Structure 1
Amino acid sequence: MSLPVRQFHDQEILQARGSKNEVSQSRPYAFLNEREASAAGHPVEISTIFLTNRECPFRCLMCDLWKNTTDDRVSPGAIPEQIRYALKQLPPASQIKLYNSGNFFDPKAIPPDDLPEIAKLIRPFERVIIENHPLLCNQTCPEFQQQIPGQLEIALGLETIHPDVLPALNKRMALDDFARAVSFLREHAIEVRAFILLKPPFLEESEGIEWAIRSVEYAFSLGVCCCAIIPTRPGNGMIERLQTTGEFSIPQLSSVESVLEHCLQLRQGRVLMDLWDLESLYADEFNLTQRLDRLSQMNLTQTVIPSV
Structure 2
Amino acid sequence: MTPVPLFTDDWVLARRPARNSLAADRPYAWLVEPEPAADGRLVDVATLFLTNRECPFRCVMCDLWKNTLPESVGVGQIPEQIRWALAQLPPSQHLKLYNAGSFFDPRAIPPEDYPEIVRLAAPFERVIVECHPKTIGTRCESFHAMLTKQGVKLEVALGLETVHPEVLLRLNKRMTTDDFAQAAHALRAAGIAVRAFIMVRPPFLTEDEGLEWAKRSIDFAFAHGVECCSLIPTRDGNGAMEELARAGHFAPPALETLERALEYGLALRAGRVFLDLWDIAKVSPGAPDRAARVARLARMNLSQHLEP
Query: Normalising by structure 1, what TM-score?
Result: 0.97
Map of 1:262 onto structure 2: 264
Q: How does 1:119-134 map to 2 (within 5 A)?
A: 119-134=118-133
Q: How does 1:79-98 map to 2 (within 5 A)?
A: 79-98=78-97
Structure 1 unaligned residues grouped into runs of 5+: none
Q: How does 1:215-234 map to 2 (within 5 A)?
A: 215-234=217-236
Deviation digits for residues 140-171 of structure 1, max 9, x if unmatched? 21221121221100000000000110100000
Q: How does 1:205-216 map to 2 (within 5 A)?
A: 205-216=207-218
Contact 1:97/1:129 (8 A) holds in 2: yes
Distance 2:178 2:4 in 1: 21
1:182 aligns with 2:184: yes
1:204 aligns with 2:203: no
Contact 1:130/1:154 (8 A) holds in 2: yes
1:19, CA displacement in angstroms?
Answer: 0.4
Contact 2:253/2:283 (8 A) holds in 1: no
Distance 1:15 1:74 in 2: 25
Contact 2:254/2:283 (8 A) holds in 1: no
Deviation digits for residues 110-162 of structure 1, max 9, x if unmatched? 01100110000000110100001100000221221121221100000000000
Map of 1:20 onto structure 2: 19
1:282, CA displacement in angstroms?
Answer: 3.2
Map of 2:253 onto structure 1: 251
1:5, CA displacement in angstroms?
Answer: 3.1
1:273 maps to which of 244, 262, 275:
275
Q: How does 1:150-189 map to 2 (within 5 A)?
A: 150-189=152-191
Distance 1:48 1:40 in 2: 20
1:41, CA displacement in angstroms?
Answer: 1.6
The aligned length equals 305
Contact 2:111/2:139 (8 A) holds in 1: no
Contact 1:13/1:238 (8 A) holds in 2: yes
Deviation digits for residues 33-89 of structure 1, max 9, x if unmatched? 011111012321000000000000000000000000000000110000000010001
Distance 1:24 1:166 in 2: 33
- The one-letter amino acid paired with 1:15 is A
Map of 1:60 onto structure 2: 59
Map of 1:49 onto structure 2: 48
- The one-letter amino acid paired with 1:214 is R
Contact 1:42/1:301 (8 A) holds in 2: no
Contact 1:28/1:86 (8 A) holds in 2: yes
1:277, CA displacement in angstroms?
Answer: 1.5
1:289, CA displacement in angstroms?
Answer: 1.9
Contact 2:31/2:47 (8 A) holds in 1: yes
Contact 1:260/1:271 (8 A) holds in 2: yes
- The one-letter amino acid paired with 1:270 is R
Map of 1:294 onto structure 2: 296
Contact 1:45/1:93 (8 A) holds in 2: yes
Contact 2:159/2:197 (8 A) holds in 1: yes
